[in-house]
Amino acid sequence: MTPSDHILLALLIPSIGAVLIALTGQQRNLRETVTLVTAILLFANVLQILPEVLAGGRPALAGFPVTFGLEVAFRIEPLGMLFGLIASGLWIVNSFYSIGYMRGNKEPRQTQFYVAFAVAIAAALGIAFSANLFTLFIFYELLTLSTYPLVAHHGDAKARQGGRVYLLILLTTSIVFLIPAILWTLSLAGTLDFTPGGILAGRADALTTGLLLALFAFGVGKAALMPVHKWLPNAMVAPTPVSALLHAVAVVKAGVFTVLKVSIYIFGPEHLQETGASEWLVYLATFSLLAASLIAVSKDNLKARLAYSTVSQLAYIVLGAAIATPLALLGAAMHILMHAFGKITLFFVAGAIHTATHKTEISQLNGIGRVMPFTMAAFFIGALSIIGVPILGGVWSKLYIALGGLSGGYGFVVPALMISSLLNVAYLMPIVVRAFFRAPDLADDHGYGATGSDVMPDEQPSRIAEAPWFCVVPLCFTAVACIVLFFLPDAIEMLLSGMLEVPR
């Protein structure tokens, strides 16, 4: 099979999977098997494309022209390869986790859940592999629409409200800002193809570039740049596997991935630097990452805190895209990967806690580390990776972004990133401290048994009562991956090195 066949398969496998899941909905074991097999096949298929990309190839799938200026086509460059690998790879882990979570919490409408999930993954891969802005936009909208049923999954008033905000903000920004941005790009450059070196150099002056960049930055609502970030906390009403894979990895990363793609292949890093048109975005992204961290500190609900943490971490990537020096872009691309593993671990933990004890607030978590040691240890590792502490993967991307900021003449980025890291410590570490070093509250045995209030603080339960293994194994796996990633910066750099090459 040629690489272009693999591209087609990458879109077909999850789509066919979705149909099969719908058909096998009555027998849940069969249905879950279909999900897992689909996920594994998909990842194996995406892996097949990797050697070609590493060798410097740019596998493409010729699409078809739609109408004036619009064409559906696919072409894989390193950044898309990376995003495709992350989305398809973590889907396997997340599927195992989903089984544990959905069954453990006796969630309704599980078939609908798995179908929508498969469609969302297909859309994410479509985004990763698209060769031009129009193709990307189609899948971008498909991703929004396919995740809406997941966000509103519970169907109660709160879920409906969350789903409404989700859809309203994401669709509105894409229609009001992104479509005009695409149109404008087309009228300036005459093409929408992602081209190394950009297509706008020499065709747009500084002001036009700045305005266009603003349309893109806010049009891609999925990047959750302040002030269009409100949909993300609202999306937390979804079941946790959705928050984990989609609202820490696939959906939000699709957003920042689009911003990066636009910065590198539409504007062109050199054009952005020469015109200084992205300077305002550097300031806004810096503000966004600090402000979101501050808000995160104030949240008691675990998932809400993680959501604001995500808003903040996404701003790192937008920051890298705005600085647009090679190092900053490399750091931003890497951060897509590093943050994916760190944040999915944290969400997995939040869901495991909910499954085992039905607790959602941080203030309820005193001493929970004694009951759920594996889970909370994984949380600790994930948190350190988010903070960016060595021997965890998260350190590299932050380092590169900071260095990129220096080389781009934005010295203030370095202290800003340091403050942000401290804020990360401030909102993540207290959870670990509570879990391991505080005594459980009186009358609280974390759902461990029916012993009730006669358990004295000094007689804390020592027995382990973890969430189902389907939940715990995936989160341990991603936590270990955070450590492994620390030792792999060379490999990642090797993959991404071709990202900025401009053929002469």
Partner 1 sequence: MLAAHLPALQVVIPLMAAPLCAIFRRGYLGWLIAVAANWFAFAAAILLVFRVLEEGTISYAMGGWVPPIGIEYRVDIINVFVLLVVTGVGSVIIPFARAGTAARFNNTDQAWFYTMYLLALTGLLGVTITGDAFNIFVFLEISSLASYVMIAMGRDRRALTAAYQYLIMGTIGATFIVLGVGMLWAMTGTLNLADLAERIPEVSDTRPVLVALAFLTVGISLKLALFPLHLWLPNAYAYAPAVASAFLAGTATKVAIYLFVRIFYTVFGGSGFFSTTPLPEMFLVLSVVAMFAASVVAVFQDDVKRMFAYSSVAQIGFITLGISFVTEAGLTAAMVHLFNHAIMKAGIFLMLGAIMFRLASVQIDDLAGIGRKMPITMAGIVILGLGLLGVPGTSGFISKWWLVLAALENGHWWLVALIVLASLVTMLYVGRVVEVAYFREPSAKVAVMREAPASMLIPAYVLVLATIYFGLETNWSVGLAEQAAAKLMSAVY
Euclidean distance between CA atoms 487 and 440, whole angstroms:
37
Rule CB under 8 A: is residue 175 a binding residue for partner 1?
A: yes
Please tell me the distance from the alpha carbon of residue 316 to that of residue 206, in angstroms, as a whole number: 24
Task: Closer to partner 1 by CB, 43 or 231: give it.
Answer: 231
Question: Least separation, in Å, of the C-beta of 153 and partner 1?
Answer: 9
Q: How far apart are CA 32 and CA 11, in angstroms?
A: 20
Burial class (CB in 10 A: 0-12, 13-18, 19+), 472: buried
Query: Shortest gap between Cβ of 55 and partner 1 (angstroms)?
Result: 32
Residue 230 binds to partner 1 (criterion: CB under 8 A) = no
**Cα 359 to Cα 110, 254, 352, 364, distances in angstroms:** 22, 30, 10, 7
CB 317 within 8 A of CB 256: yes
Minimal distance in Å, beta carbon 77 to partner 1?
22
Instruction: Rule CB under 8 A: say whether 138 interacts with partner 1.
Output: yes
The region of 159-167, 240-248, 286-294, 490-498 touching partner 1 under the rule CB under 8 A is 159-167
Residue from 52, 141, 466, 493 in contact with partner 1 (CB under 8 A): 141
Cα 439 from Cα 91, distance rounded (Å)? 36
Which lies closer to partner 1 via its Cβ, residue 180 or residue 415?
180
Q: What are residue 132's DSSP bridge partners?
A: 193
Site string for partner 1, 241-280 (x = CB under 8 A): ----------------------------------------
Whichever of 82 and 169 has its CB closer to partner 1, that residue is: 169
Name the segment binding partner 1 (CB under 8 A); options: 133-141, 259-267, 326-334, 428-436: 133-141
**Nearby residues of 5 by Cβ (< 8 Å), 6 or more positions away:** none
Smaller CB separation from partner 1, 165 or 327 = 165
Q: Of 55-74, which residues contact partner 1 (CB under 8 A)?
A: 64, 66-68, 70, 72
Interacting span for partner 1 (CB under 8 A) from 49-57, 144-152, 247-255, 291-299? 144-152
What are the structure tokens assigned to 128, written together? 């990763």
| Cβ(227)–Cβ(194) below 8 Å | no
Under the binding rule (CB under 8 A), the answer on residue 179 touching partner 1 is yes
Q: Residue 66 and residue 134: Cα distance in Å, rounded?
A: 10
CB 123 → partner 1: shortest distance, Å?
A: 11
The least distance separating partner 1 from the CB of residue 336, rounded to whole angstroms, comes to: 24
Q: Are 84 and 10 in contact (CB under 8 A)?
A: yes
Nearest CA-CA partner of 118 in 41, 48, 3: 41
Nearest distance in Å: CB 219, partner 1: 11
- Can you tell me the distance from the alpha carbon of 367 to that of 354, in angstroms, rounded to the nearest whole number? 15
By CB under 8 A, is residue 164 in contact with partner 1?
yes
Q: Is 481 exposed, middle or buried (0-12, 13-18, 19+ CB in 10 A)?
A: buried
Q: How far is the CB of 152 from partner 1 (least distance, A)?
A: 6
Q: Is there binding between residue 163 and partner 1 (CB under 8 A)? A: yes
Cα 108 to Cα 36: distance, rounded to the nearest angstrom: 20
Please report, to the nearest 10 degrees, the dihedral formed by the alpha carbons of residues 11, 15, 20, 21 taken in order.
110
Stated as kind and residue range, the H or E segment containing 334 is helix 326-357
- Residue 496 beta carbon to partner 1: minimum distance, rounded to whole angstroms: 29
Least distance in angstroms from the C-beta of 259 to partner 1: 19
Told to check if 28 binds partner 1 by CB under 8 A, we report no
Least CB distance to partner 1 at residue 66 (A): 6
Residue 171, interface with partner 1 (CB under 8 A)? yes
- Cα–Cα distance measured from residue 341 to residue 52, given in angstroms and rounded to the nearest whole number: 25
- Binding of partner 1 at residue 180 (CB under 8 A)? yes
* Radius of gyration from C-alpha coordinates of the chain: 22
Size of the site for partner 1 (CB under 8 A): 29
Q: Which residues bind partner 1 (CB under 8 A)?
A: 64, 66-68, 70, 72, 134, 137-138, 141-142, 145, 149, 152, 155, 159-160, 163-164, 167-168, 171-172, 175-176, 179-180, 183, 187
